[in-house]
Structure 1
Amino acid sequence: MVESRIEQEMSGETLFCPVCGTSVERGMKHCPTCGAKLSFTICPGCHRPVVAEKFCPFCGTRLMPTSWKGIILMYLITVGSFFLLGVIAIVLLIALVVSFILISPIDPYTAIQMSNDFAFIYLALMNVSELIFLIPLIVYFKTPKKMLRAVGFVKQRILSSIPEEIVYALLGLFVSVILQSTLFYLGVIDVTPSVYTLNIYIMLALSLVVVAFSEEALFRGFFYQALSYRYNWIIAAVVSSIIFATVHPVYPTFIVAFLLGIVMCIIYEKSGKNLMSSTLFHYTYDLTIFVFPTILYLLS
């Protein structure tokens, strides 16, 4: 049986009741001296096992929720953020359509090119709006700096793992090309090669950084990590990937998102919870999707 992270890392540790200071052992439900209810977890900031309160007594980082109540609450906030994104999408779409109508030229070719550019501008703006997923995390961990540390976006860890991060970035590109090619030849997706301006490609590339980081911070940095402290990593990966898939509800995106969620959980876990590793995989995967039609056209 696969042990949970808490079971693995708390063995041999001396822990104390947060109320009266009595030495307690893992597995205890209540303090033998004062009767206080005990809940064990691991600090996402300093990675030390602690008796769960709101904050780590060693580094002050807000601890991950130790009950389903906290996880479900964050999920509901995530769903609310997703619907808010929908509202933003409608507003942006209306604004762009009105702008296009007002400045649309008479020349049909130019009009088509402008409509393509407008579509990609809309997509880029929607990508940037995914920053909304970071708001509940920042509120939960109190400051952006503490949030970054808690989800695993730490400078020292990033700089010490550059070769590994490059490998994961290339892996994301490879997986995306293979998957998109397979879906295309099976007729599941249709691609129409188009030529866009360099500025549009740059805009998309930059906006996808926001998508990759925001989603990784929330779904791997928070949901997977919180679940992995409570259960073994397999259960944590499956449940967090289901949560990840629910914000990609369109077929076959839902299934692909679930499977990729599992892969990114494995990357996050194997890299020592280095968020940069899973973020780079996520980024190159998404970026390849948008340039895939052109790549496929050039290779055909």
Structure 2
Amino acid sequence: MPRTARVPDPSYELMDDHEGHSLIYRQHGFPSPLVRWHFHKEYELHLIVASSGKVFIGDYIGNFSPGTLFLTGPGLPHNWISQVDEGEVVETRDMLVNFTDEMLENASAVFTELKGLAPLLARAPFGIEFRDPQVIRQSEELMQRIATSQGVTRLGHFLILLELLAATEDYQLLSGLTSSELADEHHVERINRAVDFIFQHYAGELSQEEVAEHVGMTPTYFSRFFKQATGRGFVEFVNRLRLSKACELLSKSGRPVTEVCFESGFSNISNFNRRFQQFKGMTPSDYRKLVAQRLTEQNLY
């Protein structure tokens, strides 16, 4: 059975390992203590290299798989939860580069060419997913070079990477809310317990009262707290998680729509079809056809 790792005590993440460097490179596997709902002052460029699962960025809920690339802005809460088998360990799941506003602002004052990155950085507070397969392949190559280099060479690869991402027009903004509205350390610590519980139970019957009891709150207080912390009401959050699962199943399997409906956690096919139409602007069957068409187009290049 697929499982998720239990995530203890998440909060603001203080990255104190800059050690005088302009940027931080990290890579880690799954499970990992770094996999938690958290935020930090740095931008984060995040490439998935192994496993699939659910991504939470601000109030956005979506899917990730190998080759998905995201950029989050300072203070924007985020988490990637892999769906793996019991006992499965992913050796290297993520490649990450973290950098600060201060570094780029100071550099732009000297090197005016860096001001061309401003539109990219202005979009980052909402979270960005990059979509162009060629851009993602080039980004992975540049991140590998960042991982294996030091000094000015590493910085050079990083700036080329940012220039590449700033130039692409194939991207999606993710969160409807920005970091200033969601980044609260006390909320992050408690909301992670709720999100973790919801993630493990959303495919079955799940009530707000159950989650409130799990985190030690009254249902009324939990309802206000949850919406303030995630930007979405409980029912909407759960439905979006279920719809995200439905999109994953429609994209990666040929299962009948009715089966996708029930496996995603919906108990009524009419309700599922209606909510899917609202979520994606098309029927589940049309969504499946569109995904197949896009995959065919990508394979032509």
TM-score by length of 1: 0.26
TM-score by length of 2: 0.26
Judging by fraction of residues, say which structure has more strand. 2
Tell me which of the two structures has the higher relative contact order, counting C-alpha pairs closer than 8 angstroms and 6 or more residues apart.
1
Question: Radius of gyration: which is bigger?
Answer: 1
